[in-house]
Amino acid sequence: MNDTPLFPGFRPHLADVGEGIRIHAEVGGEGPPLLLLHGHPQTHAIWHKVAPALAERFTLVLADLRGYGGSSKPAGDADHANYSKRTMARDMLRLMQSLGHARFDVLAHDRGARVAHRLALDHADAVRRLVLLDIAPTLAMYEQTTEAFARAYWHWFFLIQPAPLPERLIEADPGAYLRDVMGRRSAGLAPFDPRALAAYEAGLRQGGAAHGLCEDYRASAGIDLEHDRADRAAGRKLGMPLLVLWGEEGVVHRCFEPLAEWQRAAGDVRGRPLPCGHYIAEEAPQALLDAVLPFLQA
């Protein structure tokens, strides 16, 4: 396997965000700050194909979410509040503050996009522009669940089962879980650099990693929905410019109307599908850059 680093020239940063939690990030590039957040079951390594071009224009902060990669993986609370997107968003705000960034842009995929959505709602003054990849709002996706969606996103309903059942099954063979979840998507495993796959598997093999990602999903099926319903009842919407992109070969495109759902959740939104499946940054890196660079540089 090629042993060239995925992010040459980047430096590691470990931020103490309170309550004994440390968030790991890789930092590099030059220019306005841009926070990048990954999805499940991955790490910050998802950005390796687009980081070189972005680093020419932005100071990149490639973070690992709480429960993933090099970040802390605490035991979940009884109500999963310490893995709520509100808590995970606060992690990211404090990470950026630790680097001296009071206001920044965000580019986020999958689970990271759900954290970014909450970050932009709870800390609107901190987020200048927001890009969300291959999600509809969490509340919309749960409330509109169909048989087709449940079959395709089976892991949503597996991971929320009470501990330790899903943790035990994942820990029995983390590599198989990773390959099955990622390889069953439209593009299979072909788009993934072996170095990135190795990073994802190494992250999943860490103690507490299976529990952390399960708690992320348990929170989304419980306390996060409470927070989202409260926002909807209060009429709270995203106010900053929002770009939403999704894969035209993916489940979100097939089962939902992403742009229409985000138009209900934000006042200034635009978006379109890209010619790929779920893992946009790795399947269609140039298409992603072509879409996000004009938006972020506006």
At 11-30, the pLDDT tens digits run 999 999 999 999 999 999 99
What is the pLDDT, as a whole number, of residue 2? 84
Mean pLDDT per block of 10 residues along the chain (298 residues) reads 91 98 98 98 98 98 98 98 98 98 99 98 98 98 97 97 98 97 95 98 98 98 98 98 98 98 98 98 98 97
For 11-296, give the CATH class: alpha beta
Q: Give the other-Cβ count within 10 Å of 264's Cβ.
A: 13
What is the pLDDT, as a whole number, of residue 3? 85
Say if residues 85 and 220 touch (Cβ distance below 8 Å). yes
Catalytic entry in 91, 105, 110, 231: 110
What is the pLDDT, as a whole number, of residue 181? 96
Residue 110 among the catalytic residues: yes
What is the pLDDT, as a whole number, of residue 1? 66
**Main-chain dihedrals φ then ψ at residue 186, nearest 5 degrees:** -60, -35
Place of tokens 């198989």: 176
Domain extent listing, the chain: 11-296
Catalytic entry in 48, 101, 109, 278: 278
What is the pLDDT, as a whole number, of residue 266? 98
Residue 278 among the catalytic residues: yes
Find, among 216, 228, 269, the residue nearest to 69 by Cα. 216
Find, among 118, 110, 145, 102, the residue nearest to 281 by Cα. 110
Peptide linkage before 164 cis (omega within 30 of 0): yes
CA 272 vs CA 116, 141, 243, 264, 287: distances in Å: 19, 18, 9, 16, 11
